[in-house]
Amino acid sequence: MPSWSEFEPFIVSGLALGGVYALSGVGLVVLYRATGVLYLAFGAVGAMGAFLTYAMIQASLPDWLAWIVCILFGGVITLIYGMIFGPPLARRDPLVRAVATLGLTLILFGAMDLLWPPTGGEVRSISLPTDNGGFTVAGLQVDWTQLIGLCAGVVLTVGTAAFLRYTKLGTAMRAMANDREITATLGVPVRRVEAAAWFGCGILAGIAGLLLADLVQLDPTTLTFLVISSLAAALIARLRSIAVTFVAAIVIGVVHDLLTPITSLTNYRDMTPFVLAAIALLWVSRHRTVMTRSREEA
Partner 1 sequence: MNRYSRRRPRLAAAAVAVIAIGGVIAGCSSNNNSNSSTSAPTSSATTSAPATSSASPSTSAAAASTSSCGTKPGVAATGTPIPLGGIVTDQSGTSFTDISNMAAAYFACVNANGGINGHPIKYYIETEQTNATQIASEAKQLVQSDHVVGIVGNTSIIECSVDSSYWQAQGFNIIDSGIAPECYSTPNSAAVNMGPRYSSDGAVQYALTQHPSKIVFDQSNVPGTTYIAAGPNALAKAAGVPITDDATNVPVSDANSVAIQLVDQAGKDGAVVLNFTPPDALVILEAAQKLNIEGNVKEWGCSTPCNTDFLAKSLGSKWNGKFFVNAELTPPDPTTSPAMSLYRAILAQYGKAVSGGIGSFSQMGFTEAELMVKALESVTGAYTVTSVNAAIKALKNVDTGMLCQQWTYGSYSMHIPNNEDYTVTPDNGEMVIAPNGGCTQISAVDPQIAQYRSEAGTAPSDPTSSS
172 sits near partner 1 (criterion: CB under 8 A): no
CA 155, CA 243: separation in Å to the nearest integer? 11
The secondary structure of residue 93, as a DSSP letter, is: -
Binding span for partner 1 by CB under 8 A among 45-53, 152-160, 181-189, 257-265: 257-265
Q: Does 264 bind partner 1 (CB under 8 A)?
A: no
Nearest to 39 by CA among 28, 52, 24: 28
Cβ contact 12:149 at 8 Å:
no
> Please, are residues 111 and 49 in contact by the beta-carbon 8 Å criterion?
no
By CB under 8 A, residue 261 contacts partner 1 = yes
Which of helix, strand or coil describes residue 138?
Answer: coil
121 binds partner 1 (CB under 8 A): yes
> Does 190 contact partner 1 by CB under 8 A?
no
Total residues interacting with partner 1, rule: CB under 8 A: 59
Geometric angle at alpha carbon 146, from 55 and 273, rounded to 5°? 95
Interaction pattern, residues 77-116, with partner 1; x per rule: CB under 8 A = -----------------xx--xx--x------x---x---
One of 131, 171, 184, 255 touching partner 1 (CB under 8 A): 131
Is 1 a binding residue for partner 1 by CB under 8 A? The answer is no
| Least separation in angstroms between CB 113 and partner 1 | 5
User: Does residue 118 touch partner 1 according to CB under 8 A?
Assistant: yes
Binding piece for partner 1, criterion CB under 8 A, among 49-57, 78-86, 156-164, 219-227: 219-227
Interatomic CA distance for residues 42 and 29, integer angstroms: 11
The set of long-range contacts for 111-117, using a CB threshold of 8 Å and a minimum separation of 24, is 111/48, 112/44, 112/47, 112/48, 112/51, 112/220, 113/220, 115/51, 115/55, 116/51, 116/54, 116/55, 116/220
Assess 122 for contact with partner 1 (CB under 8 A): yes
Query: Which long-range CB contacts under 8 A does 8-11 form with residues at least 24 apart?
Result: 8/138, 8/139, 9/138, 9/139, 9/140, 10/254, 10/257, 10/258, 10/260, 10/261, 11/138, 11/254, 11/257, 11/258
Q: Is 14 an interacting residue with respect to partner 1 (CB under 8 A)?
A: yes
241 is a contact residue toward partner 1 (CB under 8 A): no
Which is closer to partner 1, CB of 186 or CB of 282?
282
Q: Which residues bind partner 1 (CB under 8 A)?
A: 6, 9-10, 13-14, 16-17, 38, 40, 94-95, 98-99, 102, 109, 113, 117-123, 125, 131, 136, 139-141, 143, 216-217, 219-222, 225-226, 228, 231-232, 235, 238-239, 256-257, 260-261, 266-267, 269-270, 273-274, 277-278, 281, 285, 288
